[in-house]
Chain A
Amino acid sequence: MKNHNKNFTLNKMRSYASIFSSTYFSKLLQNDDYSFIDAKINLYDQSKIGNGINTYYDYIKYVYSELSKQYRNEYVYKNTFINELLIKKYGVKNTIAINEFRVGESIADIVLFNGTSKAFEIKTELDSKKRLNGQLSDYRKIFKESYIVTHEALVDMYLKEDKSIGVISLETSSKSFKMVEIRPATINSEISSEAIIRSIRTNEYKNIVKEYYGTLPKMNSFNMFDICFDLIKEIPNENLNTLFIEELKKRKSNTVNITSFFKELRQLGLAMNIDEKMHHNLLIKLNKPIQI
């Protein structure tokens, strides 16, 4: 019986976790489709409607707090990261945060560009550290600092993993979560021009060449990658690092507006690059009373 309850709770939490999906929220925004939330209410929480939970936002808050207590998945970590570190520590004014940034074979969970570049790899209590070494070695190719964000209970293990890596701890003992930097990252002295050109967009590597050399060489769309690559290889490493950071900071980002979003939905807002108009729209939709 006990085992059965455990399974039921786990399934319920997994089901709750699926609510925080950009696909579903896009459907809600575009098609007024609440079915992904309604389905969970029907399955688990009908009795709560009218008892403290009236609007869809009330329900989202409830689900988020349940996940925080019982099933701290990547979404909870990322969202806490935004609330506790990005907003409170790093600041959002001159920072561009990007959700999921591809480098080589790996995808960094969150990356930040301000005066420097930082990659964050989230390892929740539910994750394994299987791919960690490959991920870290990919991030080091283009980021000055790499961090692991993990639960306080796992900090010691990750501190031993790799001495150059920064470690950030999610502290869940108090009611409101905290994120604390346990060890700063060692700053990476060398970045790879090849990894950079392979990770950024066409107009971005062209801009870097133009910025450094003052002009773009004669090229066509078939050979421009090779020509720009040869030129980028010649840029001194420190200059390339600065040019790379400045170029990435031009990406369209809603980082600066993130504080105006619902606290529980900031990670979704970042991942979907929600602008003020969409956010306003979402506000109206989520403040609607639940009708089941």
Chain B
Amino acid sequence: MYYPYLRGRQFELIALREYAVCRGNNNIIPIIEPVKKTFNSLKLALPILRNGNVKYALVLNPQVGEIDNLAQIIDGLGDSLGNSNSWIPSFIVSNNYIQMQDLIISTGYTEVMVICNELTDTSNEDFNKLILSEQVKYIVVSQENRTLKRNLAGKNKILIRLDDKFNGQKRNSDYLEMPEEKFSEEHLFYSEEGYQGFSDYTVLVKDFIEGGSAPYAVAIHLTYQKENKEVWIRHFTSTSNFDRANIQGKFAEALDKAIAFINANHIHNSATDELRIYYEESKYPGLGMVKKISIKNHLELMNEII
């Protein structure tokens, strides 16, 4: 299983919605960290995921964004949350293992997911007690720990490896000079390396950055599989990146390059077909949609190859 880690923002959620209605078999469980106090986008997305039989993990103690506590999420989502077998209650654990254990028990949820961050010491005794407790089913780790794997063997837990795969640049115009890059080979090896799932931040940067003004450049990030089965990424970037003007024309420049590539490589999925429509109609869909297409392409690719 692939567990893409996404923040609950509008276009990330639209990508998930569209993924949920367009794919065949599902091999993806998205992990969604809510970041907005207005829950409209999540309320729209979660029922669509359920109807598409896409199970999702929802972080109940988000560490970035506007949300202060678990009650805001539960109240904010109300009935849209769905019943407990359609989603995985998830908690980001830092180094507050005992406190997290108490929090999880207090919610009454079972089969929860625990997500480690940079501060988590996966060798810590209390951490091991936490993940071996009966409430915890999924454990998301970012560092290799063989003792941990051994401790979990035969315990009916799902261990997921989370890596930051996207080589984010400070400015969009920086992608212009970047050649194609290897994105990930986790899908080939996670299982033989003792994991039951793998995770990354898709084609977005790991850090949560709010807002931002009009960029100087437009970049369309597309992942694809090479013949050796690895997933690679190309950054199709506009060239006239001198100021903030004419974002539509810059999208056209990036799109020209993307279309040439997907046509030459016969890449067809609902995301790349959407790009072809914009190309044929000479239409600029907005930067949010460009991000959505990059995410959706990646989800469809990963779903297909694992």
CA distance A226 to B243 in the complex (A): 15
Asked if B245 and A220 sit within 8 Å, CB to CB, the answer is no
Judge whether B190 is part of the interface by a CB distance below 8 angstroms. no
Judge whether B284 is part of the interface by a CB distance below 8 angstroms. yes
Chain A interface, >50% SS class: helix
Q: Tell me the smallest distance from the CB of B10 to a CB of chain A, in Å.
A: 17
Pick from A198, A202, A223, A224: contact of B243, CB under 8 Å = A198
Chain A residues with CB under 8 A of B283: 220-222
Judge whether A289 is part of the interface by a CB distance below 8 angstroms. no
Chain B interface, >50% SS class: loop
**In the complex, which residues 221-241 of chain A have their Cβ closer than 8 Å to any Cβ of chain B?**
221-226
Judge whether B287 is part of the interface by a CB distance below 8 angstroms. no
Q: Tell me the smallest distance from the CB of A106 to a CB of chain B, in Å.
A: 11
The segment out of B14-22, B176-184, B246-254 that lies at the interface is B246-254
Asked if B249 and A102 sit within 8 Å, CB to CB, the answer is no
Q: Which interface class (under 10, 10 to 19, 20 to 34, 35 or more) fits A? A: 10 to 19
CA distance A221 to B249 in the complex (A): 7
Q: Tell me the smallest distance from the CB of B255 to a CB of chain A, in Å.
A: 8
Q: Which interface class (under 10, 10 to 19, 20 to 34, 35 or more) fits B? A: 10 to 19
Asked if B282 and A221 sit within 8 Å, CB to CB, the answer is yes
Asked if B243 and A104 sit within 8 Å, CB to CB, the answer is yes
Judge whether A31 is part of the interface by a CB distance below 8 angstroms. yes
Which residue of B is nearest A23, CB measured? Answer: B211
Asked if A222 and B244 sit within 8 Å, CB to CB, the answer is no
Chain B residues with CB under 8 A of A105: 243
1/0 per position for B241-271, CB-CB distance to A under 8 A? 0011110110110000000000000000000
Q: Tell me the smallest distance from the CB of A217 to a CB of chain B, in Å.
A: 14
Supposing A31-B66, A104-B243, A198-B243 touch, asked if A226 and B282 sit within 8 A by C-beta, the answer is no
Q: Tell me the smallest distance from the CB of A194 to a CB of chain B, in Å.
A: 9
Supposing A31-B66, A225-B248, A226-B249 touch, asked if A220 and B243 sit within 8 A by C-beta, the answer is no
Between A and B, 6 residue pairs with Cβ closer than 8 Å are A31-B66, A104-B243, A221-B248, A221-B282, A222-B249, A222-B252
The chain A residues found within 8 Å of chain B, CB to CB, are 30-31, 102, 104-105, 197-199, 202, 220-226
Complex A-B, nearest 6 residue pairs according to Cβ-Cβ distance, in ascending order: A220-B282, A222-B252, A198-B245, A225-B246, A221-B284, A221-B248
